[in-house]
Structure 1
Amino acid sequence: MKRFKNVFFILILISLITSLASCGAMVKGTANKKLTVEKGAIPPEFGSEKTTMLFITHHRSYNKYLKKNVADIYKGDFEIISEKEFKSDVKYEDKQKYRYVFNFESKSYSYTKSDLSSGSGEVKKFYVLDRKNEKKYFSPMTSSFWSKLQKVYLKKLTEKLKV
């Protein structure tokens, strides 16, 4: 009986790991199709001129992944700064040099469970702000696997660069 419980536990653990890994893979596959100029996620002129992308920091756990993902994936010139720096430092008023800003807006949602109780959550809606044209180019998707989504967005932006 003890052996049966151990085997059962291992099977449940393998199933859980597989399902979580496949959800992340689904996010990656969907993001590759949706994070494009055509879908409105990337400014059409992005990469056509040399600029420095600004990445806005928020809270500690987000910043950790932002810094790692940008360093590992994004191949253009960039600076990682706080929102306070962005708004107060005159250096960043130069919309030619710092034309694009990568950031997110928090979107809240609510849901009803099968037992009719309710809950709520929050997702990150990533976007690239084109400061010259004063337009935000939002990701057409969100995910609780936001770091995977962010990685694909950075990869797609890097592909548009004339590096």
Structure 2
Amino acid sequence: MKSFKTILLLTLVTTSFLMNSCGVLVKAKARKSITEENGAIPPDLGKENTTMIFFLYHRSYNRYLKKNAKKFYKDDYIFLTEEEFTKNETYRDISKYRYIFKFDYIHYTVPDFNSPSFEKRRRVKKFYIVDRKTGITYKSKMTSGLWSKLQKVYFEKLSEKITSNRR
């Protein structure tokens, strides 16, 4: 029984370490990847007083989006569903609501020898910002299954750009 507890403890510690290590690696890579030079951040962000629109999708995503925006995005923002955005004329004001933060799913397959087709479909979120004034889309080149970590860094980088444009 004692050896079982030891093995269980070692497994939990190792799993915890690996999960945290992956998150640290994702954040470090994201800090290098999510830049204006890589086309992920609008160069004019923060030069005008605008309110970022964050699109809501589903409950689990929305919970992390709201938490991450509150903690890491340091400017005005509003949460909307795409339906609310299209139905309410208030949000047609491009000078006030110039930018939209959203994501698309990127689908891919991985080998899985336990399935009849020997592959399994996966999907990850690819974040981007639409500049409604210029029509340009600023996409993060990076994706990860640890999308919340990636989103945090994206919000930090956007906030840094806003701050630098307001100096």
Normalised-by-shorter TM-score class: over 0.9
Provide the rounded CA distance (Å) in 2 between the counterparts of 1:80 and 1:46.
18
Write the distance in 1 (CA, Å) between the matches of 2:12 and 2:65.
Answer: 30
Q: Quick one: percent identity of the two aligned structures?
A: 44
Q: Deviations over 1:69-107 (max 9, x none)?
A: 111111111111111011121111111111111100111
Residue aligned with 2:43, SS: coil
8 Å CA contact retained: 2:113, 2:119: no
Report the 3-state secondary structure (helix = DSSP H, G, I; strand = E; otherwise coil) of the residue aligned with 2:47: coil
SS in 2 for 1:110: strand
Query: Take 1:161 and 1:70, find their aligned partners in 2: how far apart are those partners?
Result: 14
| Distance in structure 2 (CA, Å) of the matches to 1:95 and 1:75 | 20
Shift of residue 125 of structure 1? 0.4
Q: Secondary structure at the match of 1:46?
A: coil
TM-score (norm 1): 0.94
Is 2:89 the partner of 1:94? no
Instruction: Name whichever of 25-34 and 109-118 sits farther off.
Output: 109-118
Deviation at 1:115, TM superposition (A): 5.8
Structure 1 portions without partners, runs of 5+: none
Shift of 1:24: 0.6
- Corresponding residue of 2:81: 82
Aligned length: 162
Q: Secondary structure at the match of 2:3?
A: helix
Aligned partner of residue 38 in structure 1, secondary structure: coil
TM-score with structure 2 length normalisation? 0.92
Partner of 1:107: 106
Equivalent-residue separation in structure 2 for 1:80 and 1:59 (angstroms): 12
Quote the residue 1:52 is aligned against. Answer: 51
Give the deviation of 1:13 after TM superposition: 1.5
Unpaired segments ≥5 residues, structure 2: none
Distance across 2 between alignment mates of 1:81 and 1:49: 21
Name the SS of the counterpart of 1:51 in structure 2: coil
Offset from partner CA, 1:104-158 (integer Å, 9 cap, x none): 0111111113568210111110001111111111111011110110011001101
Structure 1 ranges of 4+ moved more than 6 A: none
Instruction: Give the aligned CA root-mean-square deviation in angstroms.
Output: 1.3
